[in-house]
Amino acid sequence: MNAPVPVRDLRLALVGNPNSGKTALFNALTGGRAKVANYAGVTVERKEGFLTSPAGRKVSVLDLPGTYSLRARSPDEEVTRDVVLGQRAGESPPDLLVCVADATNLRLVLRLILELKQTGQPAVLALNMIDIAQRQGIDIDIPALSRELGMPVVTTVATRKRGIEDLLAAIDTLADAKAEHGVSAWHAPSAKEIRDSHREAERIIKIAVLPPKRPDTWTGKIDDVLLHPVSGILILLAILFLMFQAVFSWATPAMDMISGAFEWLSAQVVHYVPDGMLQSLLANGVISGVGSVLVFLPQIMILFFFIILLEDFGYMARAAFLMDRIMGGAGLHGRAFIPLLSSFACAIPGIMSARVIDQKRDRLTTIMVAPLMTCSARIPVYTLIISAFIPRRQVWGFINLQGLVMLGLYVAGAVSALAVAFVFRKIFWRGAAEPFIMELPAYKMPDAKNVARNVLLRAQIFLNRAGTIILSMMVLIWFLSTVPFKPAGAPGPAIDYSFAGMIGHWLQPLLAPIGFNWQMAVALVPGMAAREVAVGALATVYAIGDGQPGQLATTLSNRWSLPTALSFLAWYIFAPQCASTLAVVKRETNAWRWPIIMFVYMIALAYIAALITFQVASRF
């Protein structure tokens, strides 16, 4: 008679300082499969994964935002505090805390653990990055540490999945012991209590940790170059320049392949599906629409590859250091550099990562200017116009002119973001600057698997978007630009008679001063759903208008004047052509006021910039 042993399900939460390897440990524990959602009421990302422990328990793991203290100052840290204290509505408290520590940097995390212990939660300590600690010859007396902290201690190398069995075994043992939750004695510590806990952490370190025999000298040497007032700035500029040149040169073969594949697919449809609505929907609506957006996937992946690589290497904090004074001049926090840099990929993660900024005003300013940074959804639009109107040649022998124009557009976005931030501060709040205090993590060799996983995750998010919003927008546009049908024998292209034609013609007088024709006006309307949709919309509008699908860039270079093209680029630097960004701003700020202000100021800037560009360019 083998009655199955009843096992209770177990909920774990990972807590630790920023950069201690929580996310890596989360992936090692759960195999990287995570359920990503938001905490109720706030937009802090909630990442949960599942596994089965050796003892057969169904375990759920929650990855909490990194923090130095439970004394929360930002929404991120509030989530960590509330989950740990079991105060979060709709969130049952974890059964066990897994404290994640960077074994090479124990002081602050030990202090945090002392604070965590006051909550009365059973906990186990994962001494992560033990590989680096061993390389440096840091001698840690694990039994002593475990005794002093009063919790099991396990060593792990999260990126190599080492120590995971030991960690799970310790978790099972602790769960078997049915460790009771104590009563939480935690309260926000006073300055004196923080000093006391520091002293206690110091005492434990003296007992259990011998300083490194071969301390990491690389970080200091690399910093001498990367934080140097001259070479540091030059290298930062060089990295940004390389990044954008790479986005253009490396991606070309893959892009040619993708666009070739979609053309082939479209030709097959035209060949096999009889003439009519269905053929038109498939070839002109779905395939050419989605294809013209998907073709930018390689560029987006290259951009994220750089961002993730630099982040894992530890460079992002250095970039924040170098940029702080410039950002500070615009009234932004040095930390805003990271959200703004993420906004180069997409304003939505950028706006959401502004949560790392503790101060409400700094955070709001960052949110308000984030959409001015050139997000990857603009890349399709920019690339299209650049490839149609800017000659592909080298200037000064080695710089790709198209890449140079692209860089100029990025710079224009970044500079205007700083200028707008400055004006915002002057209009809305004139208080003192907020504190800028930030750890500079030791440099680390980026882990290839980790980088690949994150790049793929970003690609997947983009594809999901292409598969849902963009596909449905494409079908809608195809519908708008096909129905009502052109009456038999009527003159002009069919689209003139459709709904899209009507909207375009109606908007066109408003846009005439900035040089936009009605096809562009048509493309702008669905382009509100997402910027890159405008490319698909133009393809659809022109493909149908011409009655023959052709190379969009060639079509545009025949149909648009150069001033119109430049004006369109200027418009796209500023225009709030992204409904999801506005929705996220509403959610993040919890008020309609901010997305409305954002929409109004961005559309005003777009119109003015396009007007000036068109009028000036027309004079030449």
Ligand X SMILES: Nc1nc2c(ncn2[C@@H]2O[C@H](COP(=O)(O)OP(=O)(O)OP(=O)(O)O)[C@@H](O)[C@H]2O)c(=O)[nH]1
Binding site for other proteins (CB under 8 A): 68-69, 71, 73, 104-105, 107-108, 111, 189-191, 194-195, 198-199, 202, 211, 215, 219-220, 223-224, 227-230, 232-233, 317, 320-322, 324-326, 328, 334, 432-433, 435-442
For the CB of residue 293, give the shortest distance to other proteins in the complex, in Å. 40
Q: How far apart are CA 426 and CA 442, in angstroms?
A: 37
Q: Which of residues 5-24 bind ligand X (CB under 6 A)?
A: 16, 18-24
Any contact of residue 444 with ligand X (CB under 6 A)?
yes
For the CB of residue 429, give the shortest distance to other proteins in the complex, in Å. 15
131 interface partner picked from ligand X, other proteins, none, CB below 5 to 8 A per type: ligand X
Q: Which of residues 277-316 bind ligand X (CB under 6 A)?
A: 312
For the CB of residue 154, give the shortest distance to ligand X in the complex, in Å. 12
Contact 139, 168 (CB under 8 A): no
| Burial class of residue 3, CB neighbours in 10 A (0-12, 13-18, 19+) | exposed
198 interface partner picked from ligand X, other proteins, none, CB below 5 to 8 A per type: other proteins
The full 3-state SS of 218-272, as one line of letters, equals: HHHHHHHHHCCCCHHHHHHHHHHHHHHHHHHHCCHHHHHHHHHHHHHHHHHHHHH
Q: How far apart are CA 338 and CA 311, in angstroms?
A: 9
Nearer of residues 206 and 393 to other proteins, judged by Cβ: 206
DSSP 187: -
567 interface partner picked from other proteins, ligand X, none, CB below 5 to 8 A per type: none
Nearer of residues 167 and 316 to other proteins, judged by Cβ: 316
For the CB of residue 66, give the shortest distance to ligand X in the complex, in Å. 3
For the CB of residue 219, give the shortest distance to other proteins in the complex, in Å. 7
Rg, Å, the chain Cα set: 28
Which residues are CB-neighbours of 601 under 8 A, at least 6 positions away? Answer: 420
611 interface partner picked from other proteins, ligand X, none, CB below 5 to 8 A per type: none
Any contact of residue 577 with ligand X (CB under 6 A)?
no
For the CB of residue 444, give the shortest distance to ligand X in the complex, in Å. 5
438 interface partner picked from other proteins, ligand X, none, CB below 5 to 8 A per type: other proteins
For the CB of residue 233, give the shortest distance to other proteins in the complex, in Å. 6
Q: How far apart are CA 408 and CA 398, in angstroms?
A: 17
Any contact of residue 80 with ligand X (CB under 6 A)?
no
CA 432 to chain centre: 29
Nearer of residues 18 and 212 to ligand X, judged by Cβ: 18
Contact 576, 371 (CB under 8 A): yes
Contact 48, 61 (CB under 8 A): yes
241 interface partner picked from other proteins, ligand X, none, CB below 5 to 8 A per type: none
CA 82 to chain centre: 25
Nearer of residues 336 and 520 to other proteins, judged by Cβ: 336
- Residue 340 tokens read as 């703004």
353 interface partner picked from other proteins, ligand X, none, CB below 5 to 8 A per type: none
Q: How far apart are CA 580 and CA 151, in angstroms?
A: 45
For the CB of residue 436, give the shortest distance to other proteins in the complex, in Å. 5
Instruction: Give the residue, chosen from 115, 131, 172, 362, that forms a contact with ligand X under the rule CB under 6 A.
Output: 131
Angle CA 79–204–157, to nearest 5: 60
The full 3-state SS of 130-182, as one line of letters, equals: HHHHHHCCCEECHHHHHHHHCCCEEECEHHHCECHHHHHHHHHHHHHCCCCCC
For the CB of residue 190, give the shortest distance to other proteins in the complex, in Å. 8
**Residues at the site binding ligand X, with contacts judged by CB under 6 A:** 16, 18-24, 66, 128-129, 131-132, 157-159, 312, 444, 446-447, 450
